Amino acid sequence: MATIKEIAQKLGVSTTTVSNVIHGKTSEVSVQTLEIVKKGLEKYKYIPNATAVNLAKSRSGIIGFTLRCRHDYLERALSDPFNSGFLNGIYKKAKDKGYQVMIFAADSDEEFLNQILTWNCDGVIILGTPEEEGQIISNRYDGPVVFVDAFFDPEKDNQVSLRIDDVESSYEMTRHIIEYGHRKIAFLCDSERGVDMKRYEGYRKALKESGIEDSPSNRLFVTDGFGGTSQQWDRIVEQVRAYTAVECTSDYFAVQLIKNLIQKGIRVPEDISVTGFDDNDFARFCNPGITTIHQDIREKGELAAHMLIDIIKGGRSAIHQTVLKTWIVDRESLRPID
């Protein structure tokens, strides 16, 4: 591959002229010379050094993807089908736009914030940060940010929010379960913060509207590591025997629950109905197929990257909050009862 100096010599122009064309600084280059240099770069198959180009533009060409999660979940965070599908969308859009993606996951507020503040990124996509933590990041970080599944409206022009309506989505699913005749409905989650809290609000809202008792004991937790331990699932299975349906905050938990129920001789949906959230491959390939809330996770990742890159290039966004649509997908894990 030819160097800038060699190409300049072959074309009879200065190295500065060639460099300016490569970096898009063509205001002082004549139309004729510009065409000559462009054809020369193509002829000699010049490939610009990405680092040099980005330095010339005062950019790194890198967008950051940060994931805030519990310590017991940290090592497997990217194997979670939601996170991996979301990252896949980010990577596709970033690659199409000429950006690289840097990934970081942290389990402590201090580490999480330090990484965001010290990365050499043009902007950051932050997934799963609670409202109070998101406000701190927004106040301390001046760069472009897309907060995903965060429940506050950033005030800075170059920071935006992207999410679904978790309260309404969970409300609609709970209403759907109730319409199938169920009144003893458990709620299975792994957190009292973030999206799990919002989905629990929707669940409680639907119960209240239908005159169904809302007891704190209806909320069951998976807390021991990624997906729970066998001992914990034994406990959960015993707890859900008192219910006719279990609403899970993810398809992954729904699959885990169905597997453990079947192992104990409890049929789904004949004995207990189970629903999920996300509509990923787990929901589609499970037997029985899982009734769930659909959100296009990969599209969500692509949109997050698109929004961030637009801000990086334009400096601001006119829309500070984008709420994506969801809908119920009916499969075999939910059945009507009398």
DSSP 130-159: -HHHHHHHHHH--S-EEEES--S---STTE
- As a whole number of angstroms, the distance between CA 17 and CA 15 comes to 5
Q: pTM score, two decimals?
A: 0.77
Sign of CA dihedral 156, 157, 158, 161: positive
Cα(314)–Cα(130) distance, integer angstroms: 27
Query: Among 183, 172, 249, 187, which Cα is nearest to 220's?
Result: 187
Q: How many residues does the chain have?
A: 338
Which residues are within 8 A (CB) of 55 and not within 5 positions of it... i.e. 6 or more apart?
A: none
Given a cut of 50, the residues of the chain with pLDDT beneath it are: 50-51, 54-56
Beta carbons within 8 Å of 12's beta carbon, 6+ residues apart: none
> Which segments of 274-322 does DSSP mark as H helices, in order?
281-285, 297-314
**Dihedral sign for Cα atoms in the order 171, 150, 281, 267:** negative
Angle, helix 81-96 to helix 251-263, in steps of 10 degrees: 150
DSSP E strand boundaries for the chain: 62-68, 100-106, 123-127, 145-148, 159-164, 185-189, 219-221, 245-248, 273-275, 292-294, 321-324, 327-329
- Quick: pLDDT tens for 136-194: 788 878 889 999 998 877 778 888 999 999 999 999 999 999 999 999 999 999 888 88
| Topology (CATH) of 166-295 | Rossmann fold (3.40.50)
DSSP tally for the chain: helices H, then strands E: 13, 12
Sign, CA torsion 169/174/178/180 = positive
pLDDT of residue 55: 47
Residue 116 pLDDT: 73
Q: What is the token pair recorded at 146? A: 């897309």
The residue assigned the tokens 């390939």 is 285
Question: Comparing 4-52 with 62-164+298-326, is the CATH topology the same?
Answer: no
Q: Which one of 3.30.9.10, 1.10.260.40, 2.20.25.190, 1.10.20.60 gives the CATH number of domain 4-52?
A: 1.10.260.40
- Only one residue has tokens 């509207």, namely 209
Would you report the helix, strand and coil content of the chain in percent, each value rounded to 5? 50, 15, 35
Res 261: pLDDT: 96
Domain ranges of the chain: 4-52, 62-164+298-326, 166-295
Burial of 81 (0-12, 13-18, 19+ CB in 10 A): middle
Q: What is the pLDDT of residue 51?
A: 47
Question: Could you tell me if 125 and 65 are in contact, meaning their C-beta atoms sit under 8 angstroms apart?
Answer: yes
CATH topology (fold) of 62-164+298-326? Rossmann fold (3.40.50)
